[in-house]
């Protein structure tokens, strides 16, 4: 099987963002964004693709997306940009964010990232996911390598990675790239843990 990963500059369409939302919803267990629903996920991936502060890479087989990597260069600027450009949509869907599980996850994540003494990088891996049918076939590695190249092109050498403790496949991949676990923050939602890694990109000799 041959899998081609492409960095698109202008030719992703609505169906592509929908597919990213579907893969996210099906493959990422739990998490704040999944609770928001597929419509919000669609808007998020569309924004990631269009924003100057982020990028979206997709892997395709037979013109169908089978995996994606979403990253941002500056977390704070990315979220400000997202709220500004999607303000009315967020207002219309505000009721979704009032659910108990959403509020718990939102505040548990933010109480962690707002701790200034952690001195975490602004660059962030937003999401990284491969369709279950194509996992363990090297798709994730192709996406990850291309993403590293994009970070390098934007002069970024330190990247923040957040994941839940039970995402063993993702954690194993991050470890294989030399990512170092910086913090493990106790989440008061069902005693799960958020794990934070820092990936330092080495300069080519």
pLDDT in tens, 96-122: 555 545 444 444 555 544 455 457 788
Which of the two residues, 93 and 127, has the higher pLDDT score? Answer: 127
Mean pLDDT value across the chain: 78
Residue 2 neighbours by CB distance under 10 Å: 4
- In angstroms, the Cα distances linking 1 to 62, 111, 147 are 11, 44, 22
Residue 79 has pLDDT above 70, yes or no: yes
8 A C-beta contact, residue 120 and residue 49: no
For 136, phi and psi rounded to 5 degrees?
65, 25
Q: Which of 164, 205, 169 is nearest to 184 (CA)?
A: 164
8 A C-beta contact, residue 142 and residue 3: yes
Highest mean pLDDT among 6-15, 58-67, 163-172: 58-67
Q: Which of 4-8, 70-74, 120-124, 168-172 has the lowest mean pLDDT?
A: 4-8
Report the pLDDT value the prediction gives residue 87, as an integer from 0 to 100.
78
Residue 43 has pLDDT above 80, yes or no: yes
Which of the two residues, 95 and 65, has the higher pLDDT score? Answer: 65
Residue 56 has pLDDT above 90, yes or no: yes
Q: Which of 72, 64, 46 is nearest to 147 (CA)?
A: 72
Please spell the DSSP secondary structure of the chain, one letter per residue.
---EEE--SS---HHHHHHHHHHHHHHS-S-HHHHH-HHHHHHHHHHHHH-TTEEEEEEEETTEEEEEEEEES-HHHHHHHHHHHTHHHHHHTGGGGGSHHHHHHHHHHHHHHT-GGG---S-EEEEEEE-GGGTTTTHHHHHHHHHHHHHHHTT--EEEEEEETT-HHHHHHHHHTT-EEEEEEEPSSTT-EEEEEEEEPPPP-
Which of the two residues, 28 and 85, has the higher pLDDT score? Answer: 85
For the chain, domains (ranges, CATH) are: 4-155 (3.40.630.30)
Distance, CA of 24 to CA of 37 (rounded, Å)? 10
Report the pLDDT value the prediction gives residue 86, as an integer from 0 to 100.
82
Distance, CA of 147 to CA of 57 (rounded, Å)? 7
Count of CA atoms in the C-beta half-sphere (13 A) of 133: 8
Mean pLDDT of 126-155: 91
Report the pLDDT value the prediction gives residue 22, as an integer from 0 to 100.
94
């Amino acid at each position: 099987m041959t899998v081609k990963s492409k960095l698109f500059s202008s030719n992703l369409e609505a169906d592509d963002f929908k597919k990213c939302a579907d893969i996210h919803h099906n493959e990422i267990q739990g998490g704040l964004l999944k609770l928001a629903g597929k419509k919000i996920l669609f808007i998020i991936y569309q924004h990631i693709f269009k924003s100057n502060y982020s990028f979206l890479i997709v892997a395709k087989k037979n013109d169908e997306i089978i995996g994606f990597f979403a990253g941002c260069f500056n977390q704070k600027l990315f979220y400000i940009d997202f709220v500004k450009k999607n303000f009315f949509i967020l207002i219309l869907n505000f009721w979704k964010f009032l659910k108990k599980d959403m509020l718990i996850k939102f505040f548990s994540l933010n109480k962690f990232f707002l701790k200034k003494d952690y001195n975490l990088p602004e660059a962030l891996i937003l999401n990284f996911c491969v369709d279950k049918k194509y996992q363990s076939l090297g798709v994730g590695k192709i996406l990850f390598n291309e993403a590293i190249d994009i970070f390098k092109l934007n002069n970024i050498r330190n990247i923040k990675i957040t994941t839940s403790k039970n995402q063993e496949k993702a954690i194993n991949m991050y470890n294989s790239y030399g990512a170092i676990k910086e913090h493990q923050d106790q989440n008061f939602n069902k005693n799960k843990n958020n794990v934070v890694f820092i990936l330092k990109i080495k300069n080519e000799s």
